[in-house]
Structure formats: structure tokens, C-alpha cells
Chains A and B, each alone.
Chain A
Amino acid sequence: MEVCRFRVLFLSLLAVTVLPGCSMLGGRGDDRPEPVAPAANAEPVTGEPDQRPIIEPQVERREIRRSRIDTEDFELGAYVGVLSIEDFESNVVYGARLAYHLTEDFFLEGTVGQSRAGRTSYENLSGSADLLDDDDRDYTYYALSMGWNALPGEIFVGKNRAYNSAFYLVAGIGSTTFAGDDRFTVNGGFGYRVLPSDWMAVHFDVRDHIYDIDLLGEKKIVNNLEAHLGLSIFF
């Protein structure tokens, strides 16, 4: 930086001192005025004096990089529905899902959902004896599943509209937190997806969540059926 500044200073000083001297040297020999009209052999004023071609080729390179193609393999959405918790009534379930479409046939899906258990028939009949604390009635689950688009197709609404759809089967594993414990859960089910547009899907899903529980003394397998309606967006 410092060197550069000195260089500029030096060069301007040189220019200031030398250039006036040069003009004096040149004007010493003849005092003829400069011809106003251009000489015959001089280049015409009109027309471009340089070597540029007459027509500039306007080359626009449009290259497609693979990464620039908008890839929409992920699907993010939310759902709301009804979950029947065995022995504990049915209740509203809310959830979120993230899916990754591996091929046109298969996808991976992660879901998290939340619901709340009601009261068992026993609790209602016996009056006061509660099987679970209030906190233990919260029901949350997550599931990692694999899906198969078994029946891709279209639905036709009226004469002029057709929407893409797919009937799919899903199965997976996960965990359910309920009654104060995490339980290994196997889930399976089916769903129907309709795409009102290319980037959005409306889902209807039916799932069964199966796990072991020994809350009522004896260990048993429970099936918790869930039906939900969801909306998701491809990105």
C-alpha cells in the first residue's frame, strides 16, 4: 500500500516536471499552425477506426448444470386425524411427516405424531381409580417407514380435470411414548395421495401402530388404528 502510494507520487512528479519540457522541445523548430482540415491520407472520421467486426456475435451460453435443475424429491407435510388408543378411547391426532422419494415406486417416510389418551371403561365404571396420571395420558410417537406406490393413477373430476394420485402401502418401525414409557412400535398401513398440483399432495392415510404393553397387569399386544388427512408440499 505504502509502496504503491510512493509510486503514484513519484510518477506524477515525473510527469509534472518532464511534460512541460517536452512541449517546449517540440515547438522550437517550426511555428506553423496545425492544419485544421484532415490530411488526404488520414482515416475518415466516420466509421469505426478499429478492427472490431461489423456485427458483434451475441453468444449466449446457456448451460445446464445438474445442480441447477430443481429437484423435488422431498415432501414435507402435516396431518390431523383420529387415533384409537386401545382401551383408552379415540382421540384427535396431529402429526408431521417428511418423506424422501427414492424412486417413482419407493419412498422413505418419517412421521411424528401426538395425541392424548382418554379414560378406560374400567376407570369410568369404577369411579375414582385412575390408571394413569394426567401426564402419562400424553401419547407421542415417531415412525421411520418405507413406502411403496402400489397403484399410481389418476382421478377424474368432471370432464376436464384429472389429478394424479397413488395408492401406497407403508410399513416401518418406531417408538411410542405412552403411559410413562417408550415402546418399540411396528407400524403398517396404506394411504391414498392426490396431487392437486405438481408440488402439493393431499393424503388420506390409515395406519396401525402395534406394540406390547403390560399396563393392565398382563403383557399384551395392542393395535392402535389411526386415520388421518394430511397436506404436504414437495421441495
Chain B
Amino acid sequence: MSRSLTPLTCLWILLLFAAGAHAEDQSKDQSDDRFSEDAHKILIADPFIELHTGPGRGYPVFHVVERGREVELVKRRTDWFQLRTDQGIEGWAPREQMIATLEPTGEPLDLQEPARENYMSRRWQGGISGGDFDGASEVSAFGGYAFSDNLSIELTLTHILGEFSNGYSATLGLVHVFAPEWRLSPYFTLGTGLIYTDPKSNLVESIDRDDQVGYVGGGLQFYLTRRFMLRFAEYRHNIIFTSRNDNEEVDEWKYVGFAFFF
């Protein structure tokens, strides 16, 4: 009995929380219809700005703020900004419209975005990818820091899921992007790390293995839009420095990956 009640209880808690949060939100809306003290106020310089009900072009326009009015910048989600007018009306405006707004000092609002040009000045980058590790499937997550336009250091965590063994690897390597200013650019990578292999129990040689691994490889990156890139066809030639007489050489393909930078 108690076992079957648990999910129901959880659902109730979730729903109650939702209702409570909603009520709180409504009361907040009613109480502070004037600007708060440290609000970010901006001046509309476009002939008008359309306010949508939600942060997306699919949400309908329900209000218009004309030029010269001061609005409060509440928050931002992706490329949309939530604005609050002096009458307390809240709505969302896209970045393209916000560019023409002014700060109270009369200067245009600085909304620099990571675009392709900004890719050169990027510092942090992260992403995920999927691929093949010597016949086994793999899931990877990576994060990197760029020293210069071309060169960055990258940490990759991989979960290897095979038919005969599973494993994890953590590698640290240098990535050299040949032409970061091109939309499609090849890159080269070189690094080292650790690999943990766990052969499945029904095999004879079932010993857990912690080995060092070195790799050399390369791939292609394609700039998609804003701060996003596609990485595909990354090949790594791994050399696993085993405790046996021979090192193991493993081909690894990361078929498709998705990266974003800050």
C-alpha cells in the first residue's frame, strides 16, 4: 500500500508546489507594479517594440511600447528579453528589436552576442558527442579552454559501452583548429589520459584494467549559428599502454558532436 502511494505523493507535492509558486508569482505581479530601485531601465529608440507573451516568435504580440518610453529589463532567455513597462505590463521582445534601444545615458545597449566573428575571442567551449570505440558505442562530453584563436586545451570524458567490455576514459589534449575564421574547418588533436576497462564477467580474462592512453587525431568543425558548432567525423588513433607486452592500438570515431562556446 505504502509503496503504491509514493509516486502519487510525489505528484501531489509537485503539483502543490506548482500551484504555490504560481500564486506567489501572481501576488508579486500585483504588488510591484512600479519599478524596483535597482531595475535596469532602458529607452526605446525604435519607432515601437512589440511585446510577445512568451520568449519565442510563435507567441502572439499583445502589447506595443512606442519610442521614447522607458522600460525595465527584467530578464533574458536565449535571444529574448522580458520587459516591464511603467504600467506593469510584462512581455518578451527579441534581441533584434532590443539592439535599437538605448541606455539612460543615451548609449546603445550593449548586447554583443557570440557570433561567428566572436568565435575568435571565445574562451570556454563545451559539448557532447557520440561515436564508436573499436566496435563499441561511446558517449562523450567535452569541455575546453582556448588560449588563442587556434589552440585550446580540452578535457573529454567518455563512456564506452561494448558487447564484451565497458569502460570509461578521461583524456586531456590540445586541439588546434586550422582556420577558425572559416565556417568549416579541420582540426587536429593530440593528448593523453586514462582508460578504465571492465570486461564482462562471462569472459575468461576478466580483470579490471586501468591504463594510460595516448591519442592523435583530427576532425571537422562546422559553425552552425550564434554560439553553436557541429563537430563531426573526429577520428582518434589511441595507443593504450597496457601492462602486457604489447600496446593496444584502437581506432575511435566520434561521428557527430555538438559544441557551444561562451
**A contacts, CB < 8 Å to B:** 61-66, 68-73, 78, 80-82, 92, 94, 101-105, 108, 144, 146, 149, 151-154, 162, 164, 166, 173-175, 180-184, 195-200, 202, 229-231, 234
Contact = CB atoms under 8 A, between A and B. Distances in A.
Interface in B135-168: 136-137, 139, 141, 159, 161, 166
Given A66-B112, A181-B166, A231-B18, A92 B7 contact: yes
Please list the 5 inter-chain residue pairs (A to B) with the smallest Cβ-Cβ separation, ordered nearest first. A184-B137, A152-B58, A184-B161, A197-B25, A164-B54
B78 interface: yes
Given A102-B260, A197-B21, A229-B11, A70 B56 contact: no
B122 interface: no
14 contacts: A63-B105, A69-B40, A69-B76, A70-B74, A71-B75, A72-B75, A92-B6, A102-B227, A102-B228, A108-B260, A182-B166, A196-B18, A200-B25, A230-B14
A173 B136 CA distance: 14
A203 to B, nearest CB: 10
Contacts, number: 132
A189 B85 CA distance: 39
Contact of B104 (A62, A173, A197, A202): A62
B115 interface: no
B110 interface: yes
A64 to B, nearest CB: 5
B251 to A, nearest CB: 18
Contacts of A149: 56
Contacts of A175: 139, 159, 161
B58 A229 contact: no
Range, interface on chain B: 35 or more
B80 A70 contact: no
A197 B78 contact: no
Given A62-B104, A164-B54, A103 B40 contact: no
B41 interface: yes
B172 interface: no
Contacts of B60: 154
A164 B74 contact: no
Contacts of B7: 80-82, 92
Given A144-B128, A154-B54, A196 B77 contact: no
Interface of B: 6-7, 10-11, 14, 17-19, 21-22, 25, 40-42, 53-60, 73-82, 90, 103-105, 109-112, 128, 130, 136-137, 139, 141, 159, 161, 166, 200-201, 225-228, 258, 260
Contact of A104 (B21, B79, B166): B79
A131 to B, nearest CB: 15
Given A181-B200, A184-B139, A70 B53 contact: no
Contact of B78 (A92, A103, A196, A202): A103
Contact of A146 (B56, B77, B79, B258): B258
Given A62-B40, A182-B159, A184-B139, A69 B130 contact: no
Contact of B139 (A61, A144, A196, A231): A144
B18 A164 contact: no
B161 A64 contact: no
